[in-house]
Amino acid sequence: MQIKVVEKILAANDAIAAENRELLEKNGILAINIMGSPGAGKTSLAEQTIIALRSRLSTAVIEGDIATRYDAERLAALDIPVVHIATGGECHLDAPMVKQALLQLDLAAADVVLIENVGNLVCPAEYDLGQGKKVVVSSVPEGHDKVEKYPLMFRLADAVVLNKVDTLDAFDFDVQRFEANLKDLNPRAAFFAVSCRTGQGIDAWTDWIRAQSPLPRAGEG
Ligand code: MG
Ligand code: ZN
């Protein structure tokens, strides 16, 4: 039966995700699984995050893409370690792929690992990668109905970043509705309205990262 096969795949995934989590915890690393649609700005957010954190924390990136190395190359240009996972058609990352990537990084030297998932609002939500935090990037041009239409991903998110708020004048995007729907569905999710282009809101977002365990608390050290 189809259903049994799928359950077996997810159970196998979860076992490897637990190994990833242990490996990350042992090395004191905060790993963030960045999910969202193609074009929402996942790579742009990673770029802004790396730049904002770089004086205090060392960040490495695991970059998942079905095709091309464009995003991996763009982030490697920031002079940080990047492992590219070419998923070969798979529309999400899974825990075994991330494990292979983690083993290629110098984990002792990293504080934060940003895992950019494949652009997709559906199945990445179902695969635990062993990350510490899950973040969904949504963007103004996509419309304010995404929380309602793709509830699983938003329900599981520790934080939601609404990107491209510099374009609000050009779109009928109701930020209050988006945020209210998010709070209804997932009251514990942190919410940030940002523009990766202008830098608006990036400080609040990176302050949130710095406050997460196992990183040294913001303001200390
Ligand atoms: Mg990208
Ligand atoms: Zn998929």
Give the model confidence (pLDDT) of 57-103 as tens digits: 999 999 999 999 999 999 999 999 999 999 989 999 999 999 999 99
Tell me if 185 sits within 8 A of 151, measured CB to CB.
yes
Q: Is residue 170 part of a domain?
A: yes
Classify residue 89: in a domain, yes or no: yes
β pairing state of 82-86 and 159-163 = unpaired
Q: What is the pLDDT of residue 151?
A: 98
Which own/partner contact pairs does 52-55 have at CB distance under 8 Å and 24+ positions apart?
52/202, 52/203, 52/206, 53/112, 53/206, 53/209, 53/210, 54/78, 54/80
Ligand 2 centroid to residue 129 C-alpha, Å: 13
Q: How much is the pLDDT for 9?
A: 85
In a domain, 147, yes or no: yes
Q: Is residue 60 part of a domain?
A: yes
Q: What percent of the chain has pLDDT over 90?
A: 92
What is the number of structural domains in the chain? Answer: 1
The ligand placed nearest to the CA atom of residue 35 is 1
User: Does 152 have pLDDT greater than 50?
Assistant: yes
Ligand found nearest the CA of 127: 2
- Segment 192-220 mean pLDDT: 92
**CATH number of domain containing 56:** 3.40.50.300
Q: Is the pLDDT of residue 2 over 80?
A: no
Q: What share of the chain is helix, strand, coil (3-state, %, to 5)?
A: 45, 20, 35
CA of 94 to the centre of ligand 2 (A): 9
Angle at 41 between CA 144 and CA 79, to 5 degrees: 160
Cβ atoms of 172 and 21 closer than 8 Å:
no
**Is 80 exceeded by the pLDDT of residue 147?**
yes
- What is residue 221's predicted lDDT score, i.e. its pLDDT? 47
Separate counts of helices (H) and strands (E) for the chain: 8, 7
Confirm whether 217 is domain-assigned: no
| Type of residue numbered 186 | N
* Over residues 171-179, mean pLDDT: 98
At 5 the pLDDT is: 81
Question: 52 CA distance to ligand 2 centroid (A)?
Answer: 31
User: 109 alpha carbon to ligand 2 midpoint, in Å?
Assistant: 31
Structure tokens at 189: 């999710």
Distance CA 80, CA 75 (A): 7
* Residue 185: per-residue pLDDT: 98
Q: Ligand 2 centre from 198 Cα, in Å? A: 32
Locate all alpha helices (DSSP H) within the chain, ordered by sequence: 2-26, 42-53, 70-76, 95-102, 146-149, 151-156, 175-185, 202-210
Name the residue type at position 211: A
Quick check: 120 and 156 in contact, CB under 8 A? no
Whether the pLDDT of residue 113 is over 70: the answer is: yes
Residue 30, phi then psi, degrees to nearest 5: -90, 115
Give the number of whichever ligand sits closest to the CA of residue 115. Answer: 1
Residue-wise pLDDT tens digits, 23-60? 999 999 999 999 999 999 999 999 999 999 999 999 99
Name the pTM for this structure: 0.95
Question: Does residue 217 surpass a pLDDT of 80?
Answer: no
Q: Which residues contact 13 (CB under 8 A, 6 or more apart)?
A: 94, 95, 96, 127, 128
Domain coverage including residue 142: 2-212
- 218 falls within a domain: no
Evaluate whether residue 220 is within a structural domain: no
Q: How far is the CA of 91 from the centre of ligand 2 (A)?
A: 4
The torsion angle over the Cα atoms of residues 202, 64, 105 and 115, rounded to 10 degrees, is 30
CB of 206 closer than 8 Å to CB of 174 = no
The answer to the question of residue 161 being in a domain is yes
Mean pLDDT computed over 145-149? 97
12 CA to centre of ligand 2 in angstroms: 16
